Structure 1
Amino acid sequence: MRISPLYRTILSKLTLSLILAFACTASYAQQVKSDIANFYPMLDAYSSKSNASLSYLAKDWKNTAKWRKNARAKLDELLAFHPEPAPLNSQVLSTTKRDGYTQYLVRYNVNALQSTEAFLLVPDNLTKPAPAVIALHDHGGFYYFGKEKHTYTDNQPEILKEYVQNLYDGRYYADELAKRGFVVLCPDAIYFGSQKIDPALLVDNKGYEKKIKDVDESERIKIYNKQVAGPNEVAMNKTILTAGTTWLGIIAQNDRVAVDFLLSRPEVNPERIGCIGLSLGGLRSNYLFGLDARIKVGVVAAFSTTYNEMLQQHAHHTWMMYVPRQYEFLDLPDVPSLNAPRPLMIMNCKQDKLFSIAGMQAAEQKLSSIYTKMKAPEKFTARYYDAPHSMTIPMQEDAFAWLEKWLK
């Protein structure tokens, strides 16, 4: 068969284009190092095809309230946890008078399938309903405790004292908030504290009972964290996905019921409720602030990035943070933007090994643009601290000032 000169020219150019495209792709795959090596270019290209379509910056939304309603509804759909509701049936399990406030250990239902325990801290000498803050505990690979990691308790094991020293400069910030006049609620998330996994009910607990025999309390807690709860995160998440829901969906639903609990208390001003958290608590604060209009002020410590900056590296967090298909509709900083222009503070740690500086800055830029577009730039701030992944006392003081400015 004879090939025309024109066809030969077209074929030649097409072949050259394919060769160059393949060479570029191969070169890109070789040059860019990633947590997923040669698979990164493919997934990066796929994610870039269409993402964050419901971001406030995606287009000029004619009606902000309608955008917010639709975006929240989509996020709620993706979180995929809609259990049968239940009355709170709250109980006070213990009462401890402390310096400047009273600490109540309470239990309440979060849905028909779960209950949780929380510390409720009520300042002394309240003469009227006070502003309230939901303090959301971190992860840190420390599952044995939840609320106790930022709320003072008596007779603490050494392992807990060391943990609080490392992440919070040794200060229990929830108690400090109570001393400053805030009602504070510190609930346990699923898989932590009062909701932790029970080794006795595991098919194989790797000989947990034998390992903890004749060891002190701190060593027993260490064994639980590292040899029981930590390794079982994988099975837990697989089972959660198989059940048709998401881990973060369960956490977010539980945290929203924390608002219901606060609203049931006569000490609380229902129009002045904020939330704060470090690490996993920061993630929880992102979602609670974004999803629940009853939250008026948010503080997020050491959990701010964009998904794009996580794709190459740093997508190695707890299984609790991942929501299938969310990036198609909302980037991580788009989540708290759902409550904009209410006041939001983001606190980043320059030495944080869990997030890149580029990711922190990209999230800051996105949120700053959204608040500016909403004509409220003064209600958003992002700050950087020369510290590792933590909430140091200087960070706490800045957070307290932010909460006092906008809630009191």
Structure 2
Amino acid sequence: MPRHPDRNRSFRHLCACALALLAGLAQAQAFQRQAIDGNLPVFAPALKARLTFPLAWTPQVKDMHTWRTAGQAKLWELTLQDRDDTPFAPQVIAQQDRGSYVARQVVFNLTATSRVRALLLVPKAPGPHPAALLLHDHGGRFDIGKEKLIAPWDDSAREAAARTWADKYFSGRMPGDELARRGYVVLATDALGWGDRGPLTGDAQQALAANFFNLGSSLAGNMALEDLRAASFLASLPEVDKGRVAALGFSMGALRAWQVAALSDAITAVVAVNWMATTEGLMVPGNNQLRGSSAFQMLHPGLLRHLDFPDVASLAAPKPALFLAGATDPLFPLPAVRDAYGKMARVWNAWHAADKFETRILPGGHVFAREAQEQSFDWLDRQFGR
């Protein structure tokens, strides 16, 4: 039978169209069926690839002051807070003699919207004295805040809770009282949600954070503002040597310490215990940063598009800074800690202040044990010429 070229071409065309249609249908059916994995979107690697931290220090930076000012301005912008110069108007409402120093309960205007009760320790010897702003941790326990660091009194429930916390994390000691015995003025306040300023629960943190956003503000930003104000209040006290005011914190308090050191001229030295790592190193399965809850207290919206955590801490340079980590701390993987420390060290070097920056990896986990306390307090004495 003779062949018909036109008919063959038509048949081949129909086959090609059919195959194209089938391929199109197959492609259309290949839609995204799982989008969340380990509390992360499945496209998290693509998002992480965009985190180039353009405001981080690099060897190309020639003007360190301009670099730092730009970083501080961006950090402050992303806190979503207004500057606050409200008069503190302090009032001492209770006092206890503790031998070489006096413990006071002092009420003052932490911000224009929050008047709070703080714990203040003042040496009896003539001043002015060096001072330490102590910043409490998170720990998933909200009934005490400032009492985690300074021993309370006239409240049996909080006294018992403070002893339990000290036994768990601080070798049975209250870090604030130990510093006061060394001759420091010490101040501790409650972050929003802790102690006097609750009640808060772990589950409620996400709702609280969302409602801060609804109000045009930020939970993490509010904490940053309040810590700046607390630093300014401490430095304003007549008993305090304004040139020797440290910020010291453990866990979430460590983040608060290096953050306030980065933002506040009132802070002249920083000790940060058990909170520092790179974003890359923290975004691993099982890490707290991926669980929500406490993460909202420590994340400024959009910050990581500009600066990584060690970049923010580096804005404190060239102030004296001591960073401690636990070798077996499950919350902060040691390789990510070392990477962060290395990044920060290069910034202090660029300031020609390498002798002002020190890091230590100590045995143990997520604790601020007696040995670490003694090392930290001795280091702080040296920085303040004591």
- 8 Å CA contact 1:151, 1:173 repeated in 2: yes
SS of equivalent to 1:318: helix
CA distance in 1, matches of 2:379, 2:218: 32
SS of equivalent to 1:102: strand
Q: Larger radius of gyration, structure 1 or 2?
A: 2
- Look up the equivalent residue of 1:192 and give its one-letter code: W
Superposed CA deviations along residues 358-404 of structure 1, whole A, max 9, x for unmatched, are 22111111111212222222211111122121110111011101111
Question: Any residues of structure 2 matched to 1:117-196 within 5 Å, and which?
Answer: 117-126=117-126, 128-154=127-153, 155=156, 156-196=158-198
CA distance in 1, matches of 2:133, 2:380: 11
SS of equivalent to 1:333: helix
Q: Residue 333 of structure 1 is aligned with which of 310, 322, 326?
A: 310
2:252 equivalent in structure 1: 280
Q: Residue 245 of structure 1 is aligned with which of 190, 195, 217?
A: 217
Identity of aligned pairs, percent? 29
- TM-score, length of structure 1 as denominator length: 0.80
- Look up the equivalent residue of 2:174 and give its one-letter code: Y
Compute the displacement of 1:34 (Å). Answer: 7.2
1:271 equivalent in structure 2: 243
- Look up the equivalent residue of 1:135 and give its one-letter code: L
- Look up the equivalent residue of 1:288 and give its one-letter code: V
2:19 equivalent in structure 1: none
Question: Any residues of structure 2 matched to 1:13-24 within 5 Å, and which?
Answer: none
Superposed CA deviations along residues 79-132 of structure 1, whole A, max 9, x for unmatched, are 111165421111111111102100111111122211222111111212x31111
Compute the displacement of 1:50 (Å). Answer: 4.0
CA distance in 2, matches of 1:124, 1:394: 27
1:255 equivalent in structure 2: 227
- Look up the equivalent residue of 1:259 and give its one-letter code: A
Question: Any residues of structure 2 matched to 1:8-407 within 5 Å, and which?
Answer: 35-36=38-39, 39=41, 42-57=43-58, 60-82=60-82, 85-126=85-126, 128-154=127-153, 155=156, 156-197=158-199, 229-313=201-285, 314=287, 315=289, 316=291, 317-407=294-384
Superposed CA deviations along residues 184-215 of structure 1, whole A, max 9, x for unmatched, are 11111111112123xxxxxxxxxxxxxxxxxx
CA distance in 1, matches of 2:96, 2:363: 37
**Deviates further, 316-325 or 297-306:** 316-325
CA distance in 1, matches of 2:161, 2:95: 25
- 8 Å CA contact 1:34, 1:312 repeated in 2: no
- Distance change >3 Å, CA 341–CA 144, structure 1 → 2: same
- 8 Å CA contact 2:151, 2:159 repeated in 1: no
- 8 Å CA contact 1:274, 1:407 repeated in 2: no
State the superposition RMSD in angstroms. 2.1
2:18 equivalent in structure 1: none
Compute the displacement of 1:45 (Å). Answer: 2.8
CA distance in 2, matches of 1:171, 1:81: 35
Aligned pair count?
Answer: 345
Compute the displacement of 1:43 (Å). Answer: 1.7
SS of equivalent to 1:47: helix
2:31 equivalent in structure 1: none
Superposed CA deviations along residues 337-359 of structure 1, whole A, max 9, x for unmatched, are 11211111111012212121122
The runs of 5 or more residues in structure 1 that have no matched partner are 2-28, 198-227
- Look up the equivalent residue of 1:337 and give its one-letter code: S
- 8 Å CA contact 1:118, 1:187 repeated in 2: yes
1:202 equivalent in structure 2: none
- 8 Å CA contact 2:144, 2:161 repeated in 1: no
CA distance in 1, matches of 2:83, 2:211: 16
CA distance in 2, matches of 1:51, 1:257: 31
The runs of 5 or more residues in structure 2 that have no matched partner are 1-8, 10-33
- Look up the equivalent residue of 1:169 and give its one-letter code: S
Superposed CA deviations along residues 248-300 of structure 1, whole A, max 9, x for unmatched, are 21111111111221233111111111110001111110210111122111010
CA distance in 2, matches of 1:268, 1:79: 28
Compute the displacement of 1:153 (Å). Answer: 2.1
CA distance in 2, matches of 1:92, 1:301: 30
CA distance in 1, matches of 2:93, 2:295: 31
SS of equivalent to 1:288: helix
